[in-house]
Chain A
Amino acid sequence: MRVPIEWLKELVSFRAGPDQLAQLLTMAGLETVLLPDDILDVDVLPNRADCWSILGVAREVSAITKFKLKNIHYKTKESAKKINGSVKVEVRDKELCPRYMVRVIENVKVGESPEWLKKKLERSGLRSINNVVDVTNYLLHEMGQPLHAFDAALVKDQFIIVRRANPEEKITTLDGKEQLLTPDVLVIADPEKVIAIGGVMGGANSEVNSETRTIILESAFFNPISIHKTSKLLKLRTEASIRFDYGVDWDGVETGLDRAAALIAELGRGDVLKGKLDAIGKSRKPRCLELRPGRANQLLGTEIATGDMISILKRLGFTVKRGDSGKLKVEVPPYRLMDIEREIDLIEEIARIWGYNRIEATMPFAGFAGRNRNLEDIFRSKLVDILTGEGLTEVETYSMLGPKDFEQTGISQEVTVKIANPLTVEESLMRPELLPGLLKVAAYNKNRQRDNIFVFEIGRTFAPAHDKLPKERWHVAGLLTGSPFMSALDKGEADYFYLKGVVENMFQGIGCEPPKISEADNFLLQPGRGAVIEGIGIFGALHPDIQRNYEFTRPVFFFEFDAEALFELAAANKKSYRPLPRFPSVTRDVSMFLPPDLENQVIISTIYKTGGSLVESAFPFDKYKDSAAYRIVYRHPDRTLTEEEINIKQQEIVNALVNKLSVRLRS
């Protein structure tokens, strides 16, 4: 809200310069920036309905600087003719419109506003329209009370009905747009038609124009919740609706009406009819609160004297009386009824005017209560350390995906959590997996001439559930393509086995063996080049179809694991020390031709099973096409093995490989 300093000075005097004033207001809770030409730009907080006007800001200035508010002098001269008989008001919904007031001004000459008024409006960021509308805007800005002027001739029978709109009822508002209404919307109508959306915008059909002679001037208190709903429903936020939405000053309804009538009569040389109509629903009762100064000091950690508290509250317009046992009885001024409801609200008023900067910073007296480490959080940090160490860079992708991500990967859109009001369709479905996000990252970087992409993400995935809330699960996923080396002098690119090395190292890093790994049958993976880790997830070469959909020219590898399952696996795996061997080991090799489709892990497990406890380890050390060589390490924990023992064991193993697995020995 723009506040010209000279206008503010009409309502309160102060010595502070413009810069200092902006600073004072900011530090009291009205964030204020000084614009060029001595105009303050004030940001009003959602609870401060009372500050949506120059008067409201002036009240704050007065409370902060201790200068008193100036009285505004005005006199509404009325003609002898009475208002009764020239206009009729019927409020049919007093819930939505607790107070509706009307005055009538006759013989008005609608024309240009005087320069002083035009200038004031212009400096406040408002456009001058004519002397009648300008007066309503002037008072809206100065007092925070929206007013509306109808051309009485355009109101059928001069009969104003305040009611809910009928279903499908329509009105063309002052901005020229046609609005379709619902019974949730409160309207101002005459017996035939809607003439305004109450508290939001007037209708074009009753607008004041150059021909207007008689004006029906409206000033009201509309139900804030109803205005909020209407404003949202119609996507229409106006200077008036903002004020009504926050809640206007109950007493200001009448003052605003009287001042506006006086000013219109003065500028348009009209005659204000005698009297005013005031349709009141439930009238507002004053609110009285109790304040315990001790409680205030205890909560703030201060020692503010009761006298200082009283002084602050009085400067803010509260009436304060001392009550029993040191308590204060505080009456809330009408313009603060919207936000001051409890003792804590009064404590906040005292704190902010006293000054937050005067409250001493302390450390909590009882010490801190936090005791437990969050092991899941620590685990995820560890995964970040492990994977960055393995050459992968961490990315953060949106948790939302679009239909295209599903089409390109073939992941089903059916079982996803959908956003009802997405910003764009590309961000409308909650991710069930991390892979699509990583593929987007890879495509983005590939389009920027980037060949070597090694990335991972740790984040939550979402799936619909029978419970009220969807199921959320932490995943960790990585994508690898191109060369992992620092230097282009080192040749070699990521392949399945490079990826598997990364995965195995990750397991090593979290301190456990991977569960059973076997060939995967998964639409995301290239058949024969992907693996599944039981209960954890999948890894391998991206399926060629998906590869093509993203126009990747080099092979892409990925893994996607359930991070929560990994955590449980790691947590269950307790490390324990095994004594170091005291006797030497002996190695023997076996070279062989393998039958097609014989997996390494079958060979290894056959060696272990046959070799029993004497075999310490076994691994392939040479492999080309169907020819492979395995090394077997023998050791006994309590003695040195003899040649003979080893030869017998080795022969048993070789026999098992030949007979059970149909390998053919080489040479």
Chain B
Amino acid sequence: MEEKVRQIREQAIKVIHESQSLASLDEARIRYLGKKSALLELLKSLGTLPSEERPKIGSLVNEAKEAIEQALRSRKIVLMGIEQKQRIAAEKIDVTLPGKGIRRGSSHPLTQVMAEAKDIFLRLGFEIAEGPEIETEYYNFDGLNILPHHPSRDMWSTFFIKDDVLLRTHTSPVQIRVMEKHKPPLAIIAPGRVYRCDSDATHSPVFHQLEGFLVDNKVTFGDLKGVLTDFLRQMFGQEKPVRFRPSYFPFTEPSAEVDVACVLCNGKGCRLCKETGWLEILGSGMIDPNVFKAVGYDAEKVSGFAFGMGIDRIAMLKYGIDNIRLLYENDLRFLEQF
């Protein structure tokens, strides 16, 4: 009897160890521990044994049962590990294949640069105003102190719709429109499309400007320098040298051209900056008393500065684009780079 129990135990453990799948392991479990298993039969026949042998054989059978269960458990863990490994191996994919889903689009580089510039001024406290792209001659020129038949009028080659209606050549008309309607203090930026009769590598008949002005009772030329220096440093880098140099615009006086150190050579002189080391970025100045007069302000009581910049030019400098046409050709190979 003892021998039989030992044999069953050994055989069961051997079979369990040799089983290669969870299914065959389950078969082994039924065979050796199931209702019809030899071990269970033995246990059932315990009553037929002499009473003094019963405890001994009983405990032997129980020991064998526990040993078999233990073997089943550990084999199951091993087999589950193997099966998981096989499944993982079967599920292996090429992780370098392309992803699913639609290709994301991108915003136009001009939109990106304009957004950046707007954001800087909005944080400074400016607000956005807009005006029509087709303007009257008054708002585009006369109101801005750009007199007819003055050489300065030639600074803007103009598309005309009718005699006194034109495509705005700059965003400056917004200055007049806003000041006519509102009293100071004013801090305004005016982004938008502008038009000039020019077309070459650096001129497009359509381009974008960001205009801005600040009017209050004691705005100084020093404030103009402060605000624009802050803007340019945020736009081009905190360390970039900035310089203000006298210039002429009919609607500002004194007027200043604002340069930053060349983005390519950082001031040493190269082809991009025409060997000067500087790039012209902004036109600016203190608003001319004649402009204040045109909108009914008292130039003795308020002062202010105005500025304007070409967003296309800034985008070209920022991204190293050498031909402005690329911005309007809309070649997707170009646009997808941004």
A interface, CB within 8 angstroms of B: 26-29, 31, 33, 45-48, 224-225, 228-229, 245-246, 298-302, 342, 344-345, 347-348, 351-352, 356-357, 359-374, 376-377, 381, 384-385, 387-400, 417-423, 427, 430, 441, 444-445, 448, 450, 452-456, 459-460, 462, 468-470, 472, 484-490
Contact = CB atoms under 8 A, between A and B. Distances in A.
Contacts of B130: 374, 376-377
A490 to B, nearest CB: 6
Given A342-B289, A377-B128, A444-B329, A454 B274 contact: no
A339 to B, nearest CB: 9
B335 to A, nearest CB: 5
B316 to A, nearest CB: 14
A369 B185 contact: yes
Contacts of A452: 103
B23 interface: no
A472 B230 CA distance: 35
B253 A399 contact: no
A417 B222 CA distance: 44
Given A48-B248, A361-B222, A398-B328, 9 more contacts: A33-B274, A47-B152, A359-B221, A361-B229, A366-B218, A388-B105, A395-B330, A419-B160, A486-B98
Interface of B: 97-108, 110-111, 115, 118, 122, 124-130, 132-136, 149-152, 154-155, 159-162, 165, 167, 184-188, 191, 193, 195, 197, 199, 205-206, 214, 216-223, 225-227, 229-230, 243-248, 250, 253-257, 274-276, 286, 288-289, 303, 327-333, 335-336
B126 A364 contact: no
Given A394-B111, A420-B162, A373 B127 contact: yes
Contact of A372 (B127, B246, B303): B127
B105 A394 contact: yes
14 contacts: A361-B222, A368-B185, A369-B184, A372-B127, A384-B111, A390-B102, A395-B335, A396-B111, A398-B206, A421-B160, A430-B134, A441-B330, A484-B102, A488-B98
A347 B252 CA distance: 12
A419 B256 contact: no
Contact of A484 (B97, B103, B149): B103
A372 B189 CA distance: 12
A454 B103 contact: yes
A557 to B, nearest CB: 14
Contacts of A225: 149-150
Contacts of B214: 364, 368-369
Nearest to B126: A370
A292 to B, nearest CB: 10
A468 B137 CA distance: 11
A550 B276 CA distance: 47
B102 A396 contact: no
A400 B99 contact: no
Given A370-B187, A370-B188, A352 B254 contact: yes
A377 B133 CA distance: 16
Contacts of B162: 420
Nearest to A344: B253
A630 B205 CA distance: 55
Interface of B is mostly: mixed
A399 B161 CA distance: 14
Contacts of B126: 368, 370
B253 A229 contact: no
A352 B247 CA distance: 9
A298 B255 CA distance: 16
Given A365-B218, A427-B205, A396 B254 contact: no
Given A421-B197, A441-B330, A391 B226 contact: no
Nearest to B218: A365
A469 B132 CA distance: 9
Contact of A487 (B98, B191, B197): B98
Interface centre among B122, B227, B253, B257 (most CB of A within 10 A): B253
Given A368-B125, A484-B103, A393 B223 contact: no
A245 B105 CA distance: 52
A395 B108 CA distance: 6
B227 A363 contact: yes
B220 A298 contact: yes
A94 to B, nearest CB: 18
A176 to B, nearest CB: 26
A632 B98 CA distance: 38
B328 A302 contact: no
Contacts of A394: 105-108, 111, 335
B333 A448 contact: yes
A351 B127 CA distance: 30
A494 B115 CA distance: 30
Contact of B103 (A362, A391, A427, A444): A391
A348 B255 contact: yes
Given A46-B151, A370-B126, A398 B106 contact: no
A563 to B, nearest CB: 13
A10 to B, nearest CB: 26
A420 B127 CA distance: 34
A396 B136 contact: no
A390 B105 contact: yes
Contacts of B128: 373-374, 377
A485 B103 contact: yes
B132 A393 contact: no
Contacts of A376: 130
Given A396-B110, A420-B161, A348 B254 contact: yes
A527 B211 CA distance: 46
A387 B107 CA distance: 9
A400 B186 CA distance: 33
B108 to A, nearest CB: 4
Contacts of B106: 388, 393-394
Contacts of B185: 366, 368-369
B134 A472 contact: yes
A486 B124 contact: no
Contacts of A245: 151
A388 B275 CA distance: 40
A418 B166 CA distance: 10
A381 B136 CA distance: 28
B210 to A, nearest CB: 12
Contacts of B108: 394-396
Contacts of B205: 398, 400, 423, 427
A274 B114 CA distance: 68
Contacts of A27: 243, 245-246
7 closest A-B pairs by CB: A368-B125, A301-B222, A301-B220, A29-B246, A369-B185, A370-B127, A487-B98
Contacts of B223: 301, 362-365
B166 to A, nearest CB: 9
B100 A470 contact: no
A506 B122 CA distance: 26
Contacts of B327: 396
A27 to B, nearest CB: 5
A245 B150 CA distance: 8
A448 B336 CA distance: 14
Contact of B149 (A229, A370, A453, A455): A229
A33 B193 CA distance: 32
Contacts of B330: 395-397, 441, 444-445, 455
A307 to B, nearest CB: 21
Contact of A368 (B124, B133, B149, B154): B124
B161 to A, nearest CB: 6
A381 B225 CA distance: 30
